[in-house]
Structure 1
Amino acid sequence: MAIKRNKRFHAEIPTSSLSDIMFFLFLFFLIISTLANPNVIKLTLPKAKSNETTNKDHISLSVTEDKIYYINKVQVPFEQLEQTLNDMTTAANDKVVVVRVPADNKVQDLVDLMQMGVKLKLNFVIATTK
């Protein structure tokens, strides 16, 4: 006597965990995409093999807490800063300027310098510490 089964085996793929994974991936990419394009002033950084140093000496613009401006360790008044930057970048054929501003200074001081850089079509790099 031959007994037959009424139920056949059907292959199933469990997909309940896939929806959870897709939800977490969606959240991850959503958060990363908002961090990738913040509303800040864009700075063009020089290409380097490491993110701590540059491969050559660029023009240095330093600002003290008393708003005294130095270009390559030479004091320059603010009124002559734009013309001096233009002359030095043309003479050196280097459009990259390293800006050193203390953390205590106002943001407006840095924005004023950035506006000069945009006007002269310079690439400003803000120097920081670790």
Structure 2
Amino acid sequence: MNLRKRNKATVEVHTSALNDIMFFLMLFFLLASAVVNPQVVKLLLPRSESGQQSNAQKTVTVSIDENLKYFVEKQPVTLEQLKTEVEKYQQSSPDLTLVLYVARGVSIENTMLVFDVANQLKLKVVLAVEPKK
């Protein structure tokens, strides 16, 4: 008497639908990370343990890269043009905050030149940093 089953059932997991979901999630996060702050020039920022989020509503971003090139809202400007470019933004909103992105290795002297421009225009300045890991 043979009591064994003759047809063995195979267990399968279909993952083709999961591939589509993973692709769309990856695409969403890539697009979301690019949209977070598109006016910023990509820089390696200094690190800080006590960095906080700025809650300023009206901001203008000024960036200094490692080649000492200045940018206002991703538009390259010279140091002489910096004050007039920031004044244009200040005219549209008087309670403007200047967010300063400085690459690692840029001397404090170059950073202070932007602080001087902000002080002449009586603007608040926030220095952007990366949190320490």
**Structure 2-normalised TM-score?**
0.55
| Root-mean-square deviation (Å) | 1.9
- Greater RCO (Cα-Cα under 8 Å, separation 6 or more): 2
Amino acid in the other structure paired with 2:59 = H
Amino acid in the other structure paired with 1:95 = L
- The structural deviation recorded for 1:75 is 1.2
Secondary structure (helix, strand or coil) at the match of 1:56 reads coil
Counterpart of 1:122 in structure 2 is: 123
Between the two proteins, what is the percent identity of the paired residues?
20
CA distance 1:120–1:55, shift in 2 (3 Å): closer
For 1:1-130, list aligned pairs within 5 A: 51-54=52-55, 56=57, 58-130=59-131
Runs of 4 or more, structure 1, over 3 Å off, are none
Amino acid in the other structure paired with 2:83 = E
Gaps of 5+ in 2: 1-50
- The structural deviation recorded for 1:56 is 3.3
- The structural deviation recorded for 1:125 is 0.3
Gaps of 5+ in 1: 1-49
Counterpart of 1:15 in structure 2 is: none
Q: How many residues are matched?
A: 81
Larger radius of gyration: 1
Distance 1:75 1:96 in 2: 19
Choose 51-60 or 99-108, whichever is displaced more: 51-60
Higher strand share: 2
**Structure 1-normalised TM-score?**
0.56
CA contact (8 A) 2:58 2:93 kept: no
Secondary structure (helix, strand or coil) at the match of 2:62 reads strand
Distance 2:120 2:93 in 1: 18
